[in-house]
Amino acid sequence: MTTTTEQSLRASVDYYKTLCDQLQHALDSRVVIEQAKGLLAERHQLDLDEAFHLLRSFCRANNLKLTETARAIVARQQVAGVSGERQPSAAVS
């Protein structure tokens, strides 16, 4: 193999490794968000869309990352302010 071909192959391998890592991270994030939605839906008698709206609104109102907040919910940590009640400051149209 020539040096140029080797460099090209290495660059391709690096690219696909990075892409694989990014896709795995996205999948992991999605899974934990779905779990948190399920927990919120169960705890507060919401459908999954309402649970996601509650989670997203809470994160936006408190400048929190969605995945980190979802992880906290799944870990059954208390996240102050997340409740089934809609608060005017957290409402999203």
Q: What is the CA radius of gyration of the chain?
A: 20
pLDDT-derived band of residue 70, with 50, 70 and 90 as boundaries?
very high
- For residues 69 and 1, the model is more confident at 69
Tokens of 47: 């459908």
From first CA to last CA, the distance across the chain in angstroms is: 59
Residues of the chain with pLDDT > 70, as a percent, come to: 81
Contacts of 47 (CB under 8 A, 6+ apart): 41
Q: For the purposes of burial, counting CB atoms within 10 Å of the CB of 77, is it exposed (0-12), middle (13-18) or buried (19 or more)?
A: exposed
Residue bearing the bigger pLDDT, 51 or 25: 51
> In 3D, which of 30, 37, 72 has the Cα closest to residue 55?
37
